[in-house]
Amino acid sequence: KGNAYGHGIEEYVPLAEAEGVDHFSVYSADEAFRVFEVKKANTEIMIIGSGNIVHNLRLAKFGSADTSPYDWASEFDAKVAELILSRSHEKLIDYKQFGEAAKLSVPTPEHYLPLLYTLALQEKSEEVLFFNEGIDFGSGGMRSLIVS
């Protein structure tokens, strides 16, 4: 929840840590920075990026008996997953290089960009775990990931 700790986050974090809290979830880079500035060394911060790798509602198969993924959606989702696992983040930035599959999967970038923001924070020691893989209604990629 955005701004869950209220406007006194700098006061809240040390109080919560004194009670044994060692993990804070934040909703923005600003909130993460404010927690980082006052937290103990062993306290973790979780940053959530929310979006879709494949997101084309105009071509979604709503109300159709066949909701299987389009070939282009599966192709792009698999390519992005491969690049994430190989840490080829720079190739993910220029996603349009992947042609028609990319064009159809990411007709506008606002649902794709949170992936790039999240991966930009990946440390060398951190791995990626995929969960909730799949494409709904033919064109809605639900692949989610944890970087830790």
Q: 0.85 cut: is pTM over it?
A: no
Helix 29-38 vs helix 9-18: crossing angle, to nearest 10: 50
Contact 122, 135 (CB under 8 A): no
> How far apart are alpha carbons 145 and 121 in whole angstroms?
13
**Residue with structure tokens 């709503």?**
62
> How far apart are alpha carbons 114 and 107 in whole angstroms?
15
pLDDT in tens, 64-118: 999 999 999 999 999 999 999 999 999 999 999 999 999 999 999 999 998 998 8
The per-residue pLDDT of the chain, averaged, comes to: 89
Answer whether residue 3 shows pLDDT above 60. no
